[in-house]
Amino acid sequence: MATAKVLAGARVVLPTGTVTDGRVIVDGTKIAGSAPENAEVVDLAGHWVVPGFVDMHNHGGGGASFTSGTVDEILKGVHTHRLHGTTTVVTSFVTGEMDFLTQRAGLLSELAEQGEIAGIHFEGPFISPCRKGAHDETLLRDPDPAEVRKLIDAARGRAKMVTLATELPGGVDSVRLLAEHGVIAAIGHTDATYEQTVEAIDAGATVATHLFNAMPALGHRAPGPIAALLEDERITVELINDGTHLHPAALELAFHHKGGDKVAFITDAMDAAGFGDGRYMLGPLEVEVKDSVARLVEGGSIAGSTLTLDRAFKRAVTVDRLAIEDVVRALCANPARLLGMYDTVGSLEPGKDADLVVLDEEFELKGVMRRGEWLVEP
């Protein structure tokens, strides 16, 4: 068992606000309410302590793909993101053949059962060819509820989210199916109208997959999905805050409408995250990463990101000037609640997993702890 520790002297972001000269007590793998006599004191004066980040939409990292990698490669990708503060990660698939996706779901469900990942997100194949982004159009299909059920069954209770273009035939029925099975129905890669989006929300959709990206722009006569997703309090919006996917004004618009409790920062990362520029495969499609921006070789569409959540955190606080408490909610508590994991992760409270991130005064990552063990020691 890990040695008990008292992390002292830092500014600690709690659900109730920021505590100056606060402390976090770690006993074994959990956050504790009181410190044992033999606890090690770690002086973190001049630092911030925030909960470990929760990424609910991530395709890979460290040169590894969650869609196609071996178990060792997947674990390498997960570890890469852990070193950047993401102590809880949902592995996301891109579009593939149904038999391939069901086979991969079985493999990834074993890693979820072992506690290495938090679950599985199917981004495709049930998406619009009009808004396919970096998905292979030849593999797309309408969201037949029977096929949706096949995927979630293959994940053996570890499916957390399915992204659908809910305007397609079977889309709304598939949303209802997902809601009945406790799986998040996310609206994304969609060409839906405002009215069609409202219908899907009423059927049980609760998330907007990377809001603004891979959907029609906001229009004054045809407001499309963005207006419906922003105005409905039942929807949490994913945002990719890498400076490429979103203009700062779009980010500000989302926070203005949704407030601090209905935004989830994600990476939408692909293999190159934490690895570097070069050529990669995203499913069957080739991607070139140049200056940390990933684009399809054919067509030039943005192909996910190379983002890590520590960079998203720093940008949100220093460039976008968001309140640090709102940023912590967007990176930790909000996705944890959506995933049904807030009883164990997402905030620094006694009884929860000792997952936390240490940042310096410039919001550079200096330490990462997962379940009481330092992965990056401050």
Q: Is the separation of the CB atoms in 160 and 202 below 8 Å? A: no
- Which residues, at least 6 apart from 22, have a Cβ–Cβ distance to it below 8 Å? 10, 11, 12, 14, 49
Region of 194 on the Ramachandran plot (φ > 0 left; ψ -120 to 50 alpha; else beta):
alpha
Alpha carbon 336 to chain centroid, angstroms:
10
Half-sphere exposure of 273 toward its Cβ, with a 13 Å CA cutoff? Answer: 36
Closest CA to 26 of 366, 357, 351, 376: 351
| SS3 of residue 235 by DSSP | coil
Q: Which residues contact 104 (CB under 8 A, 6 or more apart)?
A: 67, 68, 93, 96
Query: Are the CB atoms for 307 and 273 separated by under 8 Å?
Result: yes
3-class DSSP assignment, residue 147: helix
Which position among 27, 191, 232, 268 bears the catalytic label?
268
Catalytic residue flag (residue 191): no
Q: Is 150 exposed, middle or buried (0-12, 13-18, 19+ CB in 10 A)?
A: middle
Q: Which residues contact 190 (CB under 8 A, 6 or more apart)?
A: 127, 128, 131, 164, 165, 166, 167, 197, 214, 215, 225
Sign of the C-alpha dihedral, residues 346, 13, 315, 252? positive
The answer to whether 34 and 26 have CB atoms below 8 angstroms apart is no
Active site residues: 268
